Amino acid sequence: LEESGIALRGLFIIDPKGIVRQITINDLPVGRSVDETLRLINAFQFYEKHGEVCPANWKPEAPTINPKKASDYFERNN
């Protein structure tokens, strides 16, 4: 692929402690989403600050899950 000038696309989100938090590698015909990348960064930062888990498709101001009270979240949101 390098010889033909094709760029391989991957995303690595690494936190300030040097821990890899997310790896995404896309096949050539599939694009990446800047919005999804920002959502992931916001979710990782929210978790570090508040200790609450961000469910799939979470956005700022949306409900989160307190790991110690997960059943409360699922009762409210299902």
- Which domains are present in the chain? 9-77 (3.40.30.10)
User: What confidence category does residue 76 fall into, taking pLDDT thresholds of 50, 70 and 90?
Assistant: confident
User: What is the predicted pLDDT for the residue at 41?
Assistant: 97
Which range, 2-11, 50-59, 65-74, is most confident?
50-59
- The CA–CA distances, whole Å, from 58 to 28, 29, 39, 64, 66 equal 27, 26, 7, 8, 14
| 23-60 pLDDT tens trace | 999 888 888 899 999 999 999 999 999 999 999 999 99
pTM of the full structure:
0.76
Give Cβ neighbours of residue 13 (< 8 Å, ≥ 6 apart): 20, 21, 22, 23, 37, 40, 41, 44
